[in-house]
């Protein structure tokens, strides 16, 4: 029996019931024949289907399967002219849902197809078309056949883009530069297409580029040091100093983004493709327009455009500047910060000191607008030797201080001329910068503009009085301020300091005098010229030292009795009248005592000079030799 469709016995089927006339093998054969007429499909793949019907909700597609599939009509919005018989690609989501329906999707088919194109574009360097959907942080989101791709802002164009919104909704050609399959991320670039088109233009520009050539360009970027100009495929740098002959702080003061400008080629590096451009070179130099009547000695006026540590620059006209050195701002001889005299933006008058039109250099001065205080007719009488003045301390040094008596007139007070009684090591111990100080003129040197001043000379020299108070052999109460291997510094009455050598620090019980102790000390040496007093505690209780001191007293006193009973008779009197003499017992010195006490409070106690110790050592050595002769 033939089982071909043409020999199919319908009567037999109708009389015996459907399928009752076939054996199992015949039924299986018939089912195989039926299955061969259908297309075998796999889920999750893209196939082509034919439109067999369109309803308000769905599009019915035949893909050659045993049943037709339905696709929502909303997925065909991009095909408004869709009609029965058209072929479209669809994605098989499910061969049979719970209702036995074949589930298809055109949207997913488009995505799968798009990803295939994207991978092919990356592999074969193909160009893709897309539409900008929206802007995002750092760039744009594009729709490439249903797949979202990221277009970074730096890859939109060869020039920086400041407004991304203008690209939204526009079609754009791009190339795929990166795919992250794990996250379904695609990165594309439009800039690479532009760069490729510009390569030929750039090569042509560089080949024809020459120094001095004038070109037209568009400002594409601005920085604090200059602007970058697009010359038609190649960029050049216009440095801020080549924008204008005048001084500017930022290019935005005179230029704008996207502005068309004419520039001249100053230099270029063909290997590195660097081009240096200039704009001010297209206009005449302002120095060429400087009026001829401006010469040395002329008064000029302008604006301060820059202030440096060494001076300030005055702009007479854009591109013409002169330097006002700090030494030309004031008649004062000690230099100060230019900011103390002048500020940027100030409108200032000045005098031309030097002018070189060839080198385009000019130096200016401000102090020349006023009379030099050292050329005044009364300077010799105003600051004559012996005149008293009050000035402001402007500067301190190791050797003294500079006092400003008036603007441009300074004097030096040496550290040794600050106090009669205190050994001042540094002026900061006595006075501070900015304080007033009374002085007297000691020397005046007009040609060299020098004044020597003194502060201690305002008072009489107290050492003339001290010579009669602290005479050799006298005993005074003293406090040990400081002790070292060289000896001890002593505080005497009236703010005076003395010094005792180690051998003069032995007490009567054999112990040694310590710092802070107040004891009697005998004067063994006095020098008014060197302002030093050498004392000894040992001499105050030792007969040998006392005898030595008595001999020193005799040697220091002209006309003293030579020897014998007169010496013995006078010794007790010296002990009672001289040893315990005090300044308070002398009426003539009462004012000096009050003054010395006040100075003691202000200045404090300081060490004597090391030279005094050395000289005293030599004196004591001579005295010991004399004692040895006496004992012998």
Q: CB-side exposure of 246: number of CA atoms within 13 Å?
A: 14
Look-up of token digits 């006392």: 546
User: What are the structure tokens assigned to 42, written together?
Assistant: 């796999």
The pLDDT assigned to 628 comes to: 45
SS3 421: coil
Spell out where 83-204 has E strands: 87-94, 102-105, 127-136, 139-144, 147-152, 171-180, 185-189
DSSP assignment, residue 395? E
Report how far residue 566's alpha carbon sits from residue 553's, in angstroms, rounded to the nearest whole number: 15
Position with higher pLDDT, 602 vs 417: 417
Alpha carbons 531 and 271: distance in angstroms, whole number: 80
Average pLDDT, integer, range 247-269 = 88
Q: What is the CATH topology of the domain spanning 286-369?
A: OB fold (Dihydrolipoamide Acetyltransferase, E2P) (2.40.50)
Non-local CB neighbours of 136 within 8 Å, separated by 6+ positions: 150
Structure tokens at 578: 């001289």
Q: What angle do CA 438, 443, 446 make, to 5 degrees?
A: 110
Give mean pLDDT, residues 319-331.
89
CA–CA dist 32, 184 (Å, integer):
43
Summarize pLDDT for 472-511 with one digit per residue, the tens. 889 999 999 999 999 999 988 877 889 999 999 999 898 9
**Model confidence pLDDT, tens digit, residues 421-456:** 777 889 998 999 999 999 999 998 888 888 999 998
Q: Please say whether the structural domain 209-282 has been given the CATH code 2.40.50.140.
A: yes
User: Nearest 5°: phi and psi at 91?
Assistant: -110, 130
Average pLDDT of the residues of the chain: 77
373-458 carries CATH number 2.40.50.140: yes
Question: How would residue 621 be classed by pLDDT, with cut points 50, 70 and 90?
Answer: very low
Q: Between the CA of residue 447 and those of 374, 406, 408, 443, 611, what are the distances in Å?
A: 9, 18, 14, 13, 36
Q: Tokens for 56? A: 């308000």
pLDDT at 18: 52
CATH architecture of 125-194: Beta Barrel (2.40)
Residue 154: what pLDDT? Answer: 85
Which residue, 485, 517, 421, is CA-closest to 617? 485
Where does the pLDDT of residue 160 fall: very low under 50, low under 70, confident under 90, or very high at 90 and above? confident
- Structural tokens at position 114: 């798009």
Q: Name the nearest CA neighbour of 579 among 501, 513, 523.
A: 523
Select from 354, 355, 330 the least CA-distant residue to 342: 330
Tokens of 157: 């164009």
Q: What is the pLDDT of residue 595?
A: 54
Query: For the chain, what percent of residues have pLDDT higher than 70?
Result: 74
* CA–CA gap between residue 145 and residue 111 (Å, rounded): 7
CA distance 448 to 422: 31
| Residue 286 and residue 319 in contact, taking contact as beta carbons nearer than 8 Å | yes
Alpha-carbon distance of 98 to 399, in angstroms, equals 109
Distance of CA 612 to the CA centre of its chain: 51
The β-bridge partners of 569 are none
Strand, helix or coil for residue 386: coil
Residue 42: pLDDT band (50, 70, 90) is: low
Predicted local distance difference test score (pLDDT) of residue 574: 35
As a whole number of angstroms, the distance between CA 198 and CA 165 comes to 25
Tallying the residues shown for the chain, one arrives at 632
Which residue intervals of the chain bear CATH 2.40.50.140? 22-124, 125-194, 209-282, 286-369, 373-458, 463-558+579-631
The predicted structure's pLDDT at residue 478:
92
pLDDT score recorded for residue 579: 40
Phi-psi region of 64 (alpha: psi -120 to 50; beta: other; left: phi over 0): left
Cβ-in-10-Å burial (0-12, 13-18, 19+) of 148 comes to middle
In the predicted structure, residue 280 carries a pLDDT above the cut 60: yes
Other beta carbons less than 10 A from residue 212's beta carbon:
9
- Asked whether the CA dihedral 483, 484, 485, 487 is positive or negative, the reply is negative
pLDDT at residue 514, rounded to an integer: 92
Cα–Cα distance, 217 to 234 (Å, whole number)? 10
For residues 127-143, give the mean pLDDT: 88
Q: How confident is the model at residue 228 (pLDDT cuts 50, 70, 90)?
A: very high
Does 457 have pLDDT greater than 90? no
Q: What angle do CA 490, 495, 496 make, to 5 degrees?
A: 50
Distance CA 150, CA 185 (A): 8
Could you give the angle at which helices 610-631 and 543-556 cross, rounded to 10 degrees?
A: 110
Superfamily holding 463-558+579-631: Nucleic acid-binding proteins (2.40.50.140)
- Band of residue 284 on the pLDDT scale cut at 50, 70, 90: confident
* Mean pLDDT to the nearest integer, 163-171: 87
Cα–Cα distance measured from residue 537 to residue 479, given in angstroms and rounded to the nearest whole number: 11
Nearest alpha carbon to residue 425 among 616, 605, 597, 600: 605
CA distance 86 to 49: 8
Residue 620 clears pLDDT 70, i.e. is over it: no
Element (H, E) at 199: helix 191-208
Which of 330-339, 400-409, 477-486 has the least mean pLDDT?
330-339
Say if residue 410's pLDDT is above 80. Answer: yes
User: What would be the CATH architecture of the domain defined by 22-124?
Assistant: Beta Barrel (2.40)
- 3-state per-residue secondary structure call for 425-474: CCHHHCCCCCCEEEEEEEEEECCCCEEEEECHHHCCCCHHHHHHHCCCCC
């Amino acid at each position: 029996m033939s089982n071909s469709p043409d020999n199919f016995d319908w009567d037999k089927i109708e009389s015996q019931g459907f399928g009752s006339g076939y054996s199992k093998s015949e039924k299986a054969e018939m089912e195989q024949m039926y299955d061969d007429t259908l297309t075998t499909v796999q889920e999750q793949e893209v196939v082509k289907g034919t439109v067999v019907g369109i309803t308000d909700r769905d599009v019915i597609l035949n893909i050659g399967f045993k049943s037709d599939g339905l696709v929502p009509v909303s997925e065909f919005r991009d095909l408004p002219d869709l009609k029965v018989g058209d072929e479209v690609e669809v994605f098989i989501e499910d061969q049979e849902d719970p209702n036995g329906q074949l589930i298809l999707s055109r949207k997913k088919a488009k995505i799968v197809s798009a990803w295939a194109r994207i991978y092919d574009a990356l592999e074969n360097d193909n160009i893709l078309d897309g539409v900008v959907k929206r802007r995002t942080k750092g760039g744009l989101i594009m729709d490439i056949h249903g797949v979202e791709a990221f277009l970074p802002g730096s890859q939109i164009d060869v020039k920086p883009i400041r407004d991304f919104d203008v690209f939204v909704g526009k079609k754009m050609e791009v190339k795929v530069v990166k795919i992250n399959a794990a996250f379904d991320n695609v990165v594309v670039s439009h800039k690479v297409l532009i760069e490729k088109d510009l390569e030929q233009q750039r090569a042509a520009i560089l080949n024809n580029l020459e120094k001095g050539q004038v070109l037209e360009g568009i400002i594409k970027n601005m920085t604090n040091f200059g602007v970058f100009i697009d010359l038609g495929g190649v960029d050049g740098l216009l440095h801020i100093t080549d924008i204008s002959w005048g001084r500017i702080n930022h290019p935005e003061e005179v230029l704008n983004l996207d502005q068309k400008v004419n520039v001249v080629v100053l230099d270029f590096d063909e290997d590195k493709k660097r081009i240096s451009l200039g704009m001010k070179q297209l206009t005449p130099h302002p120095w060429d327009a400087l009026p001829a009547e401006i010469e040395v000695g002329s008064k000029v006026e302008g604006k301060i455009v820059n202030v440096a540590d060494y001076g300030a620059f005055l702009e007479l006209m854009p591109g013409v500047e002169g330097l006002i050195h700090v030494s030309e701002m004031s008649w004062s001889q000690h230099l100060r910060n230019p900011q103390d005299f002048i500020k940027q933006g100030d409108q200032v008058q000045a005098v031309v000191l030097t002018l070189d039109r060839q080198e385009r250099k000019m130096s200016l001065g401000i102090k020349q607008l006023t009379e030099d205080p050292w050329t005044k007719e009364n300077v010799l009488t105003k600051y004559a030797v012996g005149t008293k003045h009050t000035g402001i301390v402007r500067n301190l040094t190791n050797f003294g201080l500079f006092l400003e008596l008036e603007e441009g007139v300074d004097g030096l007070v040496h550290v040794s001329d600050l106090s009669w009684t205190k050994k001042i090591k540094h002026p900061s111990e006595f006075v501070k910068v900015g304080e007033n100080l009374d002085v007297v003129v000691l020397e005046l040197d007009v040609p060299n503009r020098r004044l020597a001043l003194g502060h201690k000379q305002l008072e009489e020299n107290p050492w003339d009085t001290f010579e009669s108070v602290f005479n050799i052999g006298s005993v005074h109460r003293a406090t040990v301020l400081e002790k070292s291997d060289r000896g001890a510094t002593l505080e005497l009455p009236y703010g005076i300091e003395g010094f005792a050598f180690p051998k003069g620090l032995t007490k009567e019980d054999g112990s040694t005098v310590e710092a802070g102790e107040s004891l009697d000390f005998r004067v063994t040496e006095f020098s008014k010229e060197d302002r030093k007093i050498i004392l000894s505690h040992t001499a105050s209780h030792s007969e040998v030292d006392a005898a030595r001191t008595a001999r020193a007293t005799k040697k220091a006193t002209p006309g003293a009795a030579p020897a014998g009973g007169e010496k013995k008779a006078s010794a007790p009197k010296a002990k009672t009248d001289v040893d315990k003499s005090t300044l308070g017992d002398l009426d003539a010195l009462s004012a000096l005592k009050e003054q010395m006490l006040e100075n003691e409070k202000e200045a404090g106690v300081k060490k004597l000079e090391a030279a005094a110790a050395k000289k005293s050592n030599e004196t004591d050595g001579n005295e010991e030799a004399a004692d040895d002769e006496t004992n012998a």
